[in-house]
Structure 1
Amino acid sequence: MENPTPEIPPTMKALVYESKDTGITLNTVPTPKVHPGAVLCKVLASYISAGIGERLGPSAGPVFLTHPIPMIPGVYSIGRVVAIGPDTTKLTVGQLVLIDPFVRGRDDSDVQILLAAFDGPTPASKKLAAEYWRNGTYAEYVRSPLENTWALDEARLCGSPSDGGLGYTIPELIAIPIFTCCYGGLRGIDLKAGETIIISPATGHFSMSAVAIANAIGANVTAVSRNAERLKKLQEMFPLIRTVIPTGDVAKDTEAIVAGGGLADVVMDVSPPAATGSTYIESCIGALKQYGRISLMGGRMDPKLPIGFFQLMFKNLTVRGQYAYEREDVKGLIKLVESGRLPIGKKAGLPTVAEVSLEQFKDALAAAARDPGLTGFVTFVP
């Protein structure tokens, strides 16, 4: 039996970023129309990143991640399909979906944007964002590219454990799209069960996801962070990991990393821009064994990698920059979560600490900014 088509209102509530001076405001705007190559989804939960209020506020400084203005922000989300385009072949109205923000050009996959976050570095990517995919998910409805809308097994993920379900609430599922980036990075560097990986820093939402995924894969994890309190919580969540607090002394920190977990096969760096110039990445790289691999996924702005040509050559090291992920990574992560081998939400010690309406957006942005680490996620529930 087909799901009934819900009535779609002509207008919707949305958070709109109109200019740096006005910041984010709550507006009533036209509801997007569905068209070929897209589906329309009702937004059920949308992740609020810690820095978005500041990044889109009047006090924001120069930014690297440019985007069209005006726009509706909002990147990682869970929704329900309410209308499908004429070329949709599998998704159906009523289906629970993950809305993937990493959009590629259909005729050139090298043209890449992050929905409502980054319009890319090229004229073609900026055109794609400005003319078609500028708006995100801080709204009641979002139009999502067909190939970026991933079906979720709602009965498995949200069903009762007595019926074979995992018992998650829909807002808890917001971890799945957030985890996708680091899952793609770990696949890109080919992390295997039994290998040792150093993850630095390891106590933010994105870097913590790398710890959770590597642990689920069966790797030996050494987590590096300057925040002792969050490292302690991380180890409570994942008792098998090792932790190291860097001091800023490269040699001593390298020695501590090796003493905690031995020479490593892989280093993954997920540093924010604020970590630019810090020394812990040098210490982590120094703890690699022969034929080690380095995955760079963070936002550091260092002009040079802190490692010498001779060290790279002598130790046969591989360095891989990783921007986002591939489509197969999204599919693989969904399967991993649906299998139950990768816990999320309360089961992983990461509940949704606040589920906030769009009308309460100022409080929501402030709550997300207070703790970008391990206590849980703040989500809009329109």
Structure 2
Amino acid sequence: MRVIEITDGKGPASALVVGQRPVPQPQAGEILIRVRAAGVNRPDIVQRNGFYPAPAGASDILGLEVAGEVEAIGDGVTRWAVGDKVCALLGGGGYADYVTVDARHALPVPAGLDFEQAAALPETAFTVFTNVFEGGALKAGETLLIHGATSGIGVMAIQMAKAAGARVIATSRTKAKAEAAKALGADISLDSSTQDLAAEIKAAGGVDVVLDMVGAAYAELNLKALNERGRWVVIASLTGNRTEIDLQRIMLKKLVLTGSTLRSRPADEKARLAAAVEATVWPWIKQGKISARIHARFPLDQAAQAHAELEAGDHVGKVVLIP
């Protein structure tokens, strides 16, 4: 089967090439998926650059989410049958014609969605659910602040928060992105290049939860934005990992600072999360409250171009590969 290999060099054109490997065979509890579409995510770029190695036992091939058809099933798998249309969260291996995955980490392709749209769901839906609704404990009537609101995660977070009855304040780097976030459902959408974010958020009454993908540069802004008993959830640090925080402000406002990663979680925990996402998010998709927005599509052998598109930062929604 075709796979995308990482070679020497950190630029996508020099680092990603097409290779050949044997088709993997499903072990007990696994399914083999014929990949019809694979999501491209920022952690893929970080891994390509040598800073996010695959966890023990996971494929070294890039790709954290796919959609396709079940090609074969391993011993003990009862839910799925050959030919079923599924999407799945992976520890790696998605940039390929075939991939095996723990059968518990797969979900049915929602009715009305094609493979490309379904491939854009697992990484974003799982990440938002576990961080915003579990770690951040967002509830109906509360306000969620989303930094990087037009990323794949941001687009999903806007829709899921609105589906849950929350108010959304979105921040983006340009006027066009701010307009896109507003069109996606954000109640207030701010352009960081022209607006005073702290003043605007304060005027809006502050926020209860922050979904932070920016990191160090927005630490002070987040502390100012959060209301009493607010929750600050960090899932990426694009502007740096280190910052200085006044702990007394954390105590006086009774804040919670938390964060998580998804890829390294144990298989049983991912299975629990998959079941929770299916029970909560899949009905929202069926009801039309959530859609999968695709920014760009590339053939598998153009993975380098897909990475370049994501790195350019102009996308609204997901980039996907089509084997």
User: What interval of TM-score do these two structures reach, taking the shorter chain for normalisation?
Assistant: 0.7 to 0.9
Does the 8 Å CA contact 2:35/2:98 hold for their aligned counterparts? yes
For the pair 1:79 / 2:68, whether they are aligned, the reply is yes
Hey, what does 1:216 align to over in structure 2? 163
Work out whether 1:176 is the aligned partner of 2:153: no
C-alpha distance in 2 between matches for 1:137 and 1:221: 32
% same residue: 23
* CA deviation string 1:290-346 (max 9, x = no partner): 222221222354334x4322111111112222323734443245423443243213x
Structure 2: how far apart are the matches of 1:359 and 1:197?
Answer: 38
TM-score (norm 1): 0.71
Is 1:90 the counterpart of 2:79 in the alignment?
Answer: yes
One-letter code aligned to 1:319: L
Of residues 212, 234, 244, the one that matches 1:269 is 212
For the 8 Å contact 2:44–2:63, the answer to whether it is kept is: no
**Change beyond 3 A, Cα 1:317–1:371:** closer
Cα shift at 1:232: 1.4
Cα deviation code 1:8-54 (max 9, x no counterpart): xxxx1221225558622212221111221211110011012368468
CA–CA separation in structure 2 for the residues paired with 1:352 and 1:201 = 15
- 1:369 to partner: Cα distance: 3.7
Shift of 1:94: 0.9
Q: 1:169 to 1:31 in 2, by over 3 A?
A: same
What SS does the aligned partner of 1:180 have? helix
Check the 8 A contact 2:43/2:52 in 1, yes or no: no
Is residue 15 of structure 2 the alignment partner of residue 26 of structure 1? no
- 1:139 is aligned to 96
What CA distance in whole angstroms lies between the structure 2 residues aligned with 1:335 and 1:231? Answer: 27
1:164-190 C-alpha deviation (Å, 9 max, x unpaired): xxxx32211223112321122111211
- 1:76 maps to a residue whose letter is E
CA distance in 2, matches of 1:287, 1:370: 29
**For residue 114 of structure 2, what is the amino acid of its counterpart?**
T
| Cα pair 2:285 2:291 within 8 Å, conserved | no
1:263 aligned partner, one-letter code: G
Structure 1 residues 20 and 145: alpha-carbon distance in aligned structure 2, compared to 1, 3 A threshold: farther
Contact 1:152 1:334 in 2 (8 A): no
- Counterparts in 2 of 1:54 and 1:322: CA distance versus 1, 3 Å: closer
Would the aligned equivalents of 1:44 and 1:171 in 2 still touch at CA under 8 Å?
A: yes
Match of 2:265 in 1: none
Q: Which has the larger radius of gyration?
A: 1
Where does residue 373 of structure 1 map in the other structure? 315
* Distance in 2, Cα, partners of 1:264 & 1:365: 33
Question: Residue 67 of structure 1: which of 45, 54, 60 is its match?
Answer: 54
SS at match of 2:32: strand
CA distance in 2, matches of 1:320, 1:179: 19
Gaps of 5+ in 2: 263-269
TM-score by length of 2: 0.83
| Paired AA for residue 100 in structure 1 | L
Q: Is the 8 A contact 1:269 1:296 kept in 2?
A: yes
- Counterparts in 2 of 1:268-347, with a 5 A limit? 268-271=211-214, 276-278=215-217, 280-300=218-238, 301-304=240-243, 306-324=244-262, 326-345=273-292
Q: How many residues align?
A: 306
Equivalent-residue separation in structure 1 for 2:279 and 2:173 (angstroms): 32
Worse-matched range after superposition: 222-231 or 68-77: 68-77
CA distance in 1, matches of 2:306, 2:171: 29
**Structure 1: which amino acid aligns with 2:242?**
P
The 1:268/1:359 distance shift into structure 2, 3 A limit, reads closer
Deviations 1:332-370 (A, max 9, x none): 45423443243213xxxx23532x332343444434444
Q: Which runs of 5+ in 1 are unaligned?
A: 1-11, 102-114, 117-135, 159-167
> Displacement, 1:195?
0.8
Output the CA distance in 2 between the equivalents of 1:367 and 1:294: 29
Task: Provide the C-alpha distance between the structure 1 equivalents of 2:33 and 2:184, rounded to a whole number of angstroms.
Answer: 34
Alpha-carbon distance, 1:287 to partner: 2.0
Q: Quick one: which amino acid aligns to residue 248 of structure 2? A: F
| Paired residue secondary structure (1:30) | coil
How far is 1:247 from its partner? 6.4
